[in-house]
């Protein structure tokens, strides 16, 4: 099982955010992840609200790529309904070139109402937009002729193709359980965010079994799982930061987490998440040992959310380095 870092690039007001440059912190997180032996750094795309402040992951990942040599660089996710697929295909192809084939491409359809409002997009049609964009991008990445434009479409071929052919590895982020077999039947890897969607490890294990059972024979599709992790000497600060993070998700109308919180407030609380092992706080050895439960239920990659809720940059770096040393792939 691989261990990676995943940042939502959330911003917090004073005192936690005073004088901080979150983008520089993300670049330093990438450096710490590489030095700590982690597999990848993943960055979320968000718009118009402080719960996530990276509107253009390729730009931030290019900066991370310039400061690392081995670390894989992923977006989790590129929100396909918000963009023209030709722009995304060109940008991620170029990023894959600049980083010598280190790009991981997570895709999704979006879930925050404010973001759809900001782009003037009706969320009722997001799945159709997602499906069409993904199919277009796969064709374009492979160097095949694609059609661009609606009123007077023309045929084009990308003039910059990714290093990884026919395309960079692709994950689809899923928060609705009914979408799991659909992703599996397409033979694509899947990313799950259990803090927002399930009650505990037994339910997460059921989702993973459902995914595996729906894959084509011989598939190499993977399961990635996002988890809040803190492995260091100041657990009190990490718990306070996690409380702030969870409160912020309610304020930014994070749809699936809101539903979970409405259904069972304790289960969605920091204490409830810790009790169900959907957020891990402890020493590096303690956290590494508890991660073994995810390996046993079939997780291929842990997307460790280390820099949540305004947690100090030094605490984040200590956590990444400590868990990197304690972790055995």
DSSP labels, 211-256: HHHHSPTT----EEEEEEEEESS-HHHHHHHHHHHHHHHHHTT-HH
* pLDDT level of residue 310 (50, 70, 90 thresholds): very high
| Amino acid 295: pLDDT | 98
Q: Per residue in 232-255, pLDDT tens?
A: 999 999 999 999 999 988 887 778
Q: Per residue in 118-176, pLDDT tens?
A: 999 999 999 999 999 999 999 999 999 999 887 778 899 999 999 999 999 999 999 99
| Amino acid 314: pLDDT | 95
Q: Which of 5, 55, 47 is nearest to 27 (CA)?
A: 5
Give, as one character, the DSSP assignment of residue 83.
S
Alpha-carbon distances, residue 157 vs 11, 148, 166 (angstroms): 39, 10, 14
Alpha-carbon distances, residue 112 vs 137, 197, 249, 257 (angstroms): 23, 15, 10, 11
Q: Contact at 8 Å (CB) between 75 and 57? A: yes
Q: Per residue in 95-124, pLDDT tens?
A: 999 999 999 999 999 999 999 999 999 999
| Amino acid 282: pLDDT | 98
Half-sphere exposure of 119 (CA within 13 A, CB side): 19
Q: Per residue in 187-207, pLDDT tens?
A: 999 999 999 999 999 999 999
pLDDT of 16 strictly over 80: no
| Amino acid 14: pLDDT | 64
Helix then strand count (H, E) for the chain reads: 14, 11
Q: Return the axis-axis angle of helices 235-251 and 255-263, rounded to nearest 10°.
A: 100
How high does pLDDT run on average in the chain?
Answer: 95
Read off the pLDDT of each residue in 280-305 and give the average, rounded to a whole number.
98
Residue 280, SS3 per DSSP: strand
Percentage, residues of the chain above pLDDT 70: 98
| Amino acid 202: pLDDT | 97
Read off the pLDDT of each residue in 261-285 and give the average, rounded to a whole number.
93
* C-alpha span between 47 and 11 (Å, rounded): 12
Read off the pLDDT of each residue in 46-68 and give the average, rounded to a whole number.
96
C-alpha 261: how far from its chain's center? 21
C-alpha 143: how far from its chain's center? 27
Q: Which residues, 6 or more positions from 114, have their beta carbon under 8 angstroms from its beta carbon?
A: 48, 49, 252, 253
| Amino acid 19: pLDDT | 78
Per CATH, the number for 2-326 is 3.20.20.30
pLDDT of 256 strictly over 90: no
């Amino acid at each position: 099982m691989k261990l990676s870092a995943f940042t939502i690039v959330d911003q917090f007001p004073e005192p936690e955010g005073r004088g901080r440059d979150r983008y520089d912190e993300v670049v330093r997180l990438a450096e710490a992840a590489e030095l700590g032996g982690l597999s990848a750094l993943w960055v979320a795309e968000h718009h118009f609200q402080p719960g996530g402040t990276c509107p253009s992951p390729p730009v931030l990942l290019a900066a991370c790529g310039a400061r690392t040599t081995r670390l894989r660089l992923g977006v989790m996710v590129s929100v396909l309904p918000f963009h023209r697929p030709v722009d995304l295909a060109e940008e991620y192809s170029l990023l894959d070139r600049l980083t010598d084939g280190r790009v991981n491409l997570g895709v999704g359809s979006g879930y925050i109402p404010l973001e759809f409002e900001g782009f003037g997009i009706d969320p009722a049609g997001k799945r159709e937009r997602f499906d069409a964009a993904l199919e277009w991008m796969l064709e374009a990445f492979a160097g095949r002729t694609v059609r661009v434009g609606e009123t007077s479409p023309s045929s084009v071929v990308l003039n910059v193709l990714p290093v990884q052919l026919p395309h960079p590895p692709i994950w689809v982020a899923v928060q609705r359980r009914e979408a799991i077999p659909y992703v599996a039947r397409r033979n694509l890897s899947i990313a799950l965010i259990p803090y927002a969607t399930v009650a505990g490890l037994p339910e997460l294990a059921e989702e993973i079994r459902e995914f595996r059972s729906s894959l084509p024979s011989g598939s190499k599709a993977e399961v990635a799982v996002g988890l809040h992790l803190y492995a260091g000497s100041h657990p009190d600060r990490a718990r306070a930061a996690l409380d702030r993070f969870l409160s912020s998700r309610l304020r930014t109308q994070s749809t699936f987490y809101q539903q979970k919180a409405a259904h069972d407030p304790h289960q969605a609380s920091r204490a409830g998440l810790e009790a169900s092992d959907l957020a891990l706080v402890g020493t590096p050895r303690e956290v590494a040992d508890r991660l073994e439960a995810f390996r046993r239920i079939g997780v291929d990659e842990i997307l460790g959310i280390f820099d949540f809720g305004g947690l100090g940059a030094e605490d984040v770096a200590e956590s990444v380095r400590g868990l990197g040393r304690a972790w055995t792939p």
